[in-house]
A and B are shown apart, each in its own frame.
Chain A
Amino acid sequence: MSVSVAERPAETEPARHLAWRGWLLDRAPFLVACLMLLVVVAIYGALQKGVFTLDEINLDTAAAMTLILAATGQTIVLIRGGIDLSIGGVISLGTVIAATQFSDDPLTVVMWSALILAIGFAVGALNGLLISALKLQPFLVTLASWSILNGIAMLILPTDGGGVPGWWIGFSYNQILGLASPVWMLIGLIIFWYWFRATRLGITIQATGSNEKSAFLSGVSIARINVVTYGLSGLFAAAAALYLTTQTGAGSPTIGKDYILPSVAAAVIGGVSLFGGRGHLLGTVIGALILTLIGNLVFVLRVSSYWQPVMSGVILLVAVLASSLAEKTARGQEQ
């Protein structure tokens, strides 16, 4: 893809054709994800009345938002070429702190929310520091911190419970211009992404994920990038925890593990590469929406809800096979 200007052939017909194919192959995983979302929405819309309304969009976005937030952090880490399993622990811990500390006083809620976000960032930064300082594998470091954070959450609140104020639970029902607050959050998230990927930091993270050695040689501090990347992942996981409490109204010391692997799956379905360097938040959002809508699909198809994991597994495999096929074709073309 990275043909320098000097080497680029003249824009003859076949060259333009190749460039167009290259563009398509580059985005094949994302396009496959879009296609799958279309199929899911089409089946859902055919079997259920009133799918194509603002209400439905509001409801589905509200349902998918926790996964979207968790997967946003995961996407940043995956683009860096790592993986973050600790988000499960951050989410559990976040909901537990919120459910035990929030009171009716808005100031208390704001202060504890800020603290939860700070804890999320700090835990992630610590992951990044351990990974760089001791040259440890992200998989094992974040597995260990998942265990530790989950344990702390269980020490704070052994079983599901606690509570948050009523106005906090009502968060996702607030509407502006007919769109519920989660939809506005999603719009904000996507705007954030287009800004973030063009910043110096965003570009450096992607470059480090593509090729760590060359990034290092061009003067990138790998340790700093790791601290920020995993810190952001922890921050988004904490945000997911806060959002989750608006949905469940309680804390759960075990709920976080339900988001660890789905967050990776959502990103991979959306075309984020597990090998680093490639991926876009739009893909991840589509992946998260597909995984969430499968639940609705199972309902309208009137089949056992146990088919839901089967469908998500098959979709995951289709997505990954499509991207591996596209990559092979693209590589064959370059040679």
Chain B
Amino acid sequence: MSSFLTRNRLILLAYLGMVVLLLVTALFSPGFLSESNLRSTLVLAAFVGIVALGQTFVIIGGGIDLSIPWVLNSAAILMTLLCAGQDLPLFWVAPLILVGGAAIGLINGVGVAIFGVPPIIMTLAANVILQGLILVYTGGSPTPSAPELIKFLSVGRLGPVPVILLIWAVLALVASLLLSKAAFGRHLYALGSSATVAEFSGVPTARTIILTYASSGLSAALAGMLLTGYSGQAYLGMGDSYLFTSIAAVAIGGASILGGSGHYLGSIAGALVLTILTGLLPALNLSSGALLVVYGAVILVTVSLGSETFASLWGLVFKNKKQKTEGD
């Protein structure tokens, strides 16, 4: 465990930052630490966290997924259209949409891995094409409200625990096991560190790249459906803010945008930090402009802390621990 923390000091730092942020917020707004407020903060963080799951995989593999906004939005709109407010269709609609999201990711992955298209361009094109197609299909008109069942999954509770937190916890467990224990995780870190070295070491690089984008499409589609349950309906542009927050959550969680490092446990902390900040600003009477300034500053500070320049500093702080793990 200690070696895990040494390797992932940035993740530890993200959680530390989150705790400090919570305490500061509590200082300014005493009601913030109430059970109901913490619960609603966690629920909001869950949406960011679920979107960031796929983005984490993609970024660890050295790519980036800009198609998230409209995969999310398309999933939300298609679900409400196909279900028309009824619960029963959800049993075939939900799997269909998850497969659809994964399929978009698959196309992205094939474009990147097989055809050599830069990830930024491939996923950007997928995003605008999807946006256009959905707008043409719906004509921009509003869609029916979300089925009750999906509302239960997003805002319902089992005892004191929101259902969506259980969903998030299961996803986090699966993602962590995949990254830390499964062959997929080993392949992914190898791929992100150096695609060439990975290729020559027998890592199935194309398959691994395609899987990361497919999982990103899958998690964006899931988040889109759940978000529809949360807001009661699907609307155009509902995914737009999640592009920035998903990348920011992964970056704050300590992953390098170049790939090869990072962990979903870090992205969880990133999602929590971003959501707490969103809650902090109304308490301080600050506008959404100030929120953007703070978001940017937090990203700059966290990526600076992860930079090579600070690495030597960290080396001094963690010197003893490092020697111990090397001695193991």
Binding site for B on A (CB under 8 A): 83, 130, 133-137, 139-141, 143-155, 158, 253, 261, 264-265, 268, 274-275, 304, 306-314, 316-317, 320-321, 324, 328
Contact = CB atoms under 8 A, between A and B. Distances in A.
Contact of A264 (B64, B120, B287): B120
Contacts of A317: 111, 117, 121-122, 125
Interface string B104-146: 0000000100011110111011111101110110011000000
Interface string B237-259: 00000001001100100001110
Contact of B292 (A147, A265, A275, A321): A147
28 contacts: A83-B120, A130-B304, A134-B304, A134-B309, A137-B256, A137-B303, A140-B303, A143-B244, A143-B248, A144-B295, A144-B296, A146-B296, A147-B293, A154-B287, A155-B289, A261-B66, A264-B121, A265-B124, A268-B118, A304-B136, A306-B136, A306-B140, A309-B129, A309-B132, A313-B127, A313-B132, A314-B129, A320-B122
B66 A152 contact: no
Contacts of A309: 128-129, 131-132, 135
Contacts of B297: 144, 148
B125 A313 contact: yes
A124 to B, nearest CB: 15
B128 A313 contact: yes
Interface string B294-328: 11110110011001111000000000000000000
Contacts of B258: 137
A136 B306 CA distance: 9
A152 B251 CA distance: 22
A264 B118 CA distance: 12
Nearest to B299: A144
Contacts of B295: 144, 147, 151
Given A135-B309, A151-B295, A314-B129, 15 more contacts: A130-B300, A135-B307, A137-B256, A140-B251, A143-B247, A145-B300, A158-B289, A253-B289, A261-B124, A268-B118, A306-B139, A313-B126, A317-B111, A320-B117, A328-B116
A307 B133 CA distance: 7
A275 B250 CA distance: 23
Interface in B163-216: none
A154 B136 contact: no
B173 to A, nearest CB: 28
Contacts of A135: 307-309
Contacts of B33: none
B19 interface: no
A126 to B, nearest CB: 11
B231 interface: no
Nearest to B294: A151
A226 to B, nearest CB: 14
B5 interface: no
Contacts, number: 143
Contacts of B129: 309-310, 313-314
Contact of A139 (B132, B244, B257, B309): B257
A306 B256 CA distance: 36
Given A154-B289, A155-B289, A316 B121 contact: yes
Interface string B212-245: 0000000000000000000000000000000010
Contacts of A134: 304, 307-310
Given A144-B299, A148-B292, A150-B292, A274 B120 contact: yes
A181 B128 CA distance: 32
Nearest to A257: B240
Going nearest first, the 5 A-B pairs with the smallest beta carbon separation are A154-B289, A151-B292, A147-B296, A310-B132, A148-B296
Nearest to A149: B296
A274 B123 CA distance: 14
Contacts of A275: 118
B291 interface: yes
Nearest to B257: A137
Contact of A136 (B136, B289, B293, B304): B304
A151 B293 contact: yes
A261 B120 CA distance: 9
B296 A307 contact: no
Contacts of A152: 289, 293
B37 interface: no
Of residues B116, B131, B132, B308, which shows the largest number of chain A Cβ atoms within 10 Å of its Cβ? B132
Contacts of A274: 118, 120-121
A304 B139 contact: yes
Given A321-B117, A324-B116, A141 B132 contact: no
B86 interface: no
B288 interface: yes
B287 A158 contact: yes
A172 to B, nearest CB: 27
B38 interface: no
A311 B125 CA distance: 10
Interface string B277-289: 0000000000111
Contacts of B291: 151
Contacts of B139: 304, 306
